[in-house]
């Protein structure tokens, strides 16, 4: 109340938001308005070999440069990072993709360097919040987000907020089983949807199919191991290759069953699908909608859309920005 009014008279101070996306390969940083207008962004390699101290030093330099380019200080920062995390403590807990990052005090380090409040969530939750606020989930109160990539992750939006569960770990949608006698998963469960629909799983199942009886008739049989990709499987299936078609059809069936189950449990308004495998676009979404429709109770199917994510490569930055906005309570005031 005692502060001198600014030249604009009603300006309440900084309002822009910094988003920081930390992955095993790259770190991306962006500044946007609370409405999601991106003012500046940049990215650098993570270079995990050099350890967390050096990487965080370069990250903070990058943050300062991007903030300077945006032209204004930021009010808050959000961070999306590969997990596991200690979200309350603001720590990174030895992610597989960040070797050596053992109990790294990420939030404290960034907060002290930038002198702003900092909020942290895992990359999948951040992406769900980003798509909900700025992407394919805009205006929808109840939404499931799945990212189908090397693994399958996601997040659950309930009444416009990320559902976090009792201890902050909810939304491990990739570890719902679709076959209780099926493929073992690293999480301990059997038959997780991740073991059928992730890019890794599609390639693995295609390789197994090539070794199985009849596999030698596939057009993919002479490819080098690293040439067998999700795209190669889809292309071969569409060209009539029966082995690839069996693998792709099973993928659609498993994923459609999973979506039917999510719809029966959550009765959502929208399901948003992101991640590399969804680059297949309608080659995936068309048959997937059909498989889901066949297995879903009619009144719940009628009110749900199944759509592709919209933010593409920027989902990391926008997700982190959404984390900052939501946790700071700033979003409520918009």
Binding interface with its own copies (CB under 8 A)? 141-142, 156, 158, 163-173, 175-182, 187-191, 253-254, 257-258, 260-261, 264-269, 294-300, 303-304
Which C-beta is closer to its own copies: that of 118 or that of 255? 255
Q: How far is the CB of 146 from its own copies (least distance, A)?
A: 12
What is the nearest approach in angstroms of its own copies to the Cβ of residue 321?
Answer: 24
3-class SS of residue 191: coil
Q: Quick check: 145 and 157 in contact, CB under 8 A?
A: yes
| Cβ nearer to its own copies, comparing 31 with 82 | 82
- The nearer residue to its own copies, 30 or 268, going by C-beta atoms, is 268
Examine residue 142 and say whether the peptide bond preceding it is cis (omega within 30 degrees of 0): no
Based on CB atoms, which residue is closest to its own copies, 51 or 165?
165
Phi/psi for 261 (5° steps) reads: -65, -45
Contact 152, 173 (CB under 8 A): yes
C-beta closer to its own copies: residue 115 or 181:
181
In the complex, least distance from residue 259 CB atom to its own copies, rounded to whole angstroms? 10
Torsion angles phi and psi, residue 119, rounded to 5: -125, 145
Task: Tell me the closest approach of the beta carbon of residue 179 to its own copies, in angstroms.
Answer: 5
Q: Give backbone dihedrals phi and psi of 213, rounded to 5 degrees, phi first.
A: -55, 135
Which of 263, 310, 301, 290 has its CA nearest to residue 142?
A: 263
Q: In angstroms, give the least distance from the CB of 205 to its own copies.
A: 14
**Dihedral of CA 174/179/184/187: which sign?**
positive
- Spatial distance between the Cα atoms of 198 and 286, rounded to a whole number of angstroms: 18
Nearer CB in complex with its own copies: 81/176? 176
Give the residue ranges of DSSP H helices in 90-158: 106-114, 123-134
* Nearest-approach distance from CB 217 to its own copies, in angstroms: 24
């Amino acid at each position: 109340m005692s502060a001198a009014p600014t030249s604009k008279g009603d300006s309440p101070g900084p309002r822009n938001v910094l988003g920081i996306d930390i992955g095993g390969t790259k770190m991306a940083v962006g500044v946007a308005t609370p409405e999601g207008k991106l003012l500046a962004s940049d990215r650098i390699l993570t270079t995990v070999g050099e350890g967390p101290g050096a990487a965080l030093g370069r990250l903070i330099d990058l943050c300062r440069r991007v903030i300077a380019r945006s032209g204004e200080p930021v009010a808050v920062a959000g961070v999306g990072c590969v997990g596991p995390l200690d979200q309350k403590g603001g720590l990174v807990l030895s992610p597989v993709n960040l070797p050596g990052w053992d109990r790294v005090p990420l939030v404290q380090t960034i907060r002290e360097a930038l002198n702003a409040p900092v909020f942290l969530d895992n990359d999948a939750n951040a992406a769900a919040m980003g798509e909900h606020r700025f992407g394919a989930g805009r205006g929808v109160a109840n939404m499931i987000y799945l990212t189908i990539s090397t693994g399958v992750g996601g997040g659950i939006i309930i009444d416009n907020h990320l559902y976090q569960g009792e201890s902050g770990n909810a939304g491990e949608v990739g570890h719902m089983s679709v076959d209780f006698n099926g493929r073992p998963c690293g999480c301990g469960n059997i038959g997780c949807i991740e073991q059928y629909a992730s890019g890794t799983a599609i390639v693995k199942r295609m390789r197994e199919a090539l070794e199985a009886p009849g596999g030698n008739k596939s057009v993919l049989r002479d490819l080098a191991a690293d040439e067998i990709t999700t795209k190669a499987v889809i292309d071969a299936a569409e060209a009539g290759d029966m082995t690839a078609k069996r693998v792709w059809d099973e993928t659609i069936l498993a994923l459609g069953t999973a979506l039917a189950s999510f719809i029966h449990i959550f009765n959502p308004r929208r399901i948003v699908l992101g991640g590399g495998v969804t680059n297949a676009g309608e080659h995936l979404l068309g048959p997937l909608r059909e498989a889901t429709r066949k297995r879903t109770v009619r009144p719940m199917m009628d009110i749900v859309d199944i759509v592709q994510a919209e933010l593409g490569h920027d989902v990391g930055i926008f997700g982190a920005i959404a984390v900052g906005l939501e946790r700071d309570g700033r979003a409520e005031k918009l």
